[in-house]
Amino acid sequence: MIEGFTSSLAEVNGTRLHYVAGGQGDPVVLLPGWPRTWYQFHKIMPLLAQRYRVIAVDLRGMGDSEKPAAGYDKKTMARDIYELIHALGYSEANIAGEDIGSMVAYSFAANHPEATRKVALWEVGHPGEAFNDLRVLPQEGRTTGPWWFGLNQVRELPEQLLEGRSRFLIDWLIDYQASGPEHFSEEARALYAAAYDTPDAIRAGNGWYQTFGQDIADAEHYPILTMPLLGLGGVHFPFVPALLEGKVADATYVELKGAGHYLAEERPDERARELTAFFG
């Protein structure tokens, strides 16, 4: 555990969420991505805690949170976070998310604008029609396409292939999508592998992908976001403004050139500075 932070559980929206909290000030909620846990923010949490109450959450199906049979659409997951914030005594919060967490952050802002002060998301954003055009075959400058999108759509087979072997997947994704493997310690890699080594954990993580169709349909009815939004990106930066085009009234975009996909761990100092400057 990070010094100054505590680990807790909360029963919200019919499920149990695990979260890690520390610091004092306005609440900043951090939402992680696949295939990682709240720990992906361990480098930026102490920096943000100098000014904010930092709450890093294991999403529904992630880490030490419950792994129910359903509810992996981002609207339901956003409701989880909404109820958690209220359970912790807050009526509103700043929301920040990476990867799957960015999808939940956007859905939170769209479905609970009264509880959203500001929202920051990166790498990449909520599922939209552009997801239907993703190319699995390698494109120029890339050695492979996002094959894991397809794998995670398949039911039962990923559990059979990956149970007890998730470390191979973790290492490949980090080495392929990060700007450098040195950003990830052996401890972090082992922690993520352990978090996705069981059939239930693999099934739950895949559930976030298997609901993309529902997420796209839900988003068609979302209002234009009016709260300030910060969109950031590294290797996938072009997707960030593309997915938000016409959907947000007050957006600021920042590209971290040379960065890979895992910004919270690759560029923690820059991430903390950007978030602090944005949330104020």
If you average pLDDT over every residue of the chain, what do you get? 96
How many CB atoms sit inside 10 A of residue 14's CB?
Answer: 14
Domain that includes residue 136, residue range = 5-271
Confidence of residue 133 (pLDDT cuts 50, 70, 90): confident
Beta strands in the chain (DSSP E): 5-12, 15-22, 27-31, 53-58, 93-98, 116-122, 229-233, 251-255
Phi-psi region of 45 (alpha: psi -120 to 50; beta: other; left: phi over 0): alpha
d(CA 153, CA 106): 22
Confidence of residue 199 (pLDDT cuts 50, 70, 90): very high
| pLDDT for 59 beyond 80 | yes
| pLDDT for 142 beyond 80 | no
Q: What is the signed CA dihedral for 245, 268, 59, 179, rounded to 10 degrees?
A: 70
Confidence of residue 139 (pLDDT cuts 50, 70, 90): confident
Among the listed residues 58, 80, 99, 218, the single catalytic one is 99
265 inside domain: yes
250 inside domain: yes
For the chain, give the percent of residues with pLDDT over 70: 100
Q: Does the annotation mark 183 as catalytic? A: no
Lowest mean pLDDT among 145-149, 154-158, 207-211, 228-232: 145-149
Q: What is the signed CA dihedral for 252, 95, 169, 185, rounded to 10 degrees?
A: 90
Domain harbouring 169, CATH code: 3.40.50.1820
Summarised one tens digit per residue, pLDDT across range 212-249 is 999 999 999 999 999 999 999 999 999 999 999 999 99
Among the listed residues 112, 126, 183, 261, the single catalytic one is 261
Summarised one tens digit per residue, pLDDT across range 67-126 is 999 999 999 999 999 999 999 999 999 999 999 999 999 999 999 999 999 999 999 999
Q: Does the annotation mark 222 as catalytic? A: no
Phi, psi of 183 (to 5 degrees): -75, -15
* Strands 15-22 and 5-12, sheet pairing: antiparallel
79, 13 in Cβ contact below 8 A? yes
The confidence score (pLDDT) of residue 253 equals 98
29, 83 in Cβ contact below 8 A? no
Q: What is the mean pLDDT of residues 121-136?
A: 91
Confidence of residue 136 (pLDDT cuts 50, 70, 90): confident
278 inside domain: no
280 inside domain: no
In the 8-state DSSP scheme, what is residue 222? P
| pLDDT for 141 beyond 80 | no
| pLDDT for 250 beyond 80 | yes
93, 65 in Cβ contact below 8 A? no
| pLDDT for 48 beyond 80 | yes
238 by Cβ neighbours in 10 Å (0-12 / 13-18 / 19+) ranks as exposed
The confidence score (pLDDT) of residue 171 equals 97
The confidence score (pLDDT) of residue 1 equals 84
Q: Where are the alpha helices (DSSP H) in 157-221?
A: 157-162, 166-177, 186-195, 199-210, 212-219
**Three-state secondary structure call for residue 208:** helix
276 inside domain: no
* Strands 53-58 and 15-22, sheet pairing: antiparallel
| pLDDT for 10 beyond 90 | yes
The confidence score (pLDDT) of residue 145 equals 82
254 inside domain: yes
The confidence score (pLDDT) of residue 140 equals 76
Q: What is the mean pLDDT of residues 143-159?
A: 92
Q: What is the signed CA dihedral for 10, 11, 17, 18, rounded to 10 degrees?
A: 30
Nearest to 136 by CA among 151, 116, 121, 158: 151
Q: Does the annotation mark 99 as catalytic? A: yes
For the chain, give the percent of residues with pLDDT over 90: 93
Q: Provide the whole-model pTM.
A: 0.97
Among the listed residues 209, 215, 218, 262, the single catalytic one is 209
The number of folded domains in the chain is 1
277 inside domain: no
Nearest to 268 by CA among 178, 195, 144, 196: 178
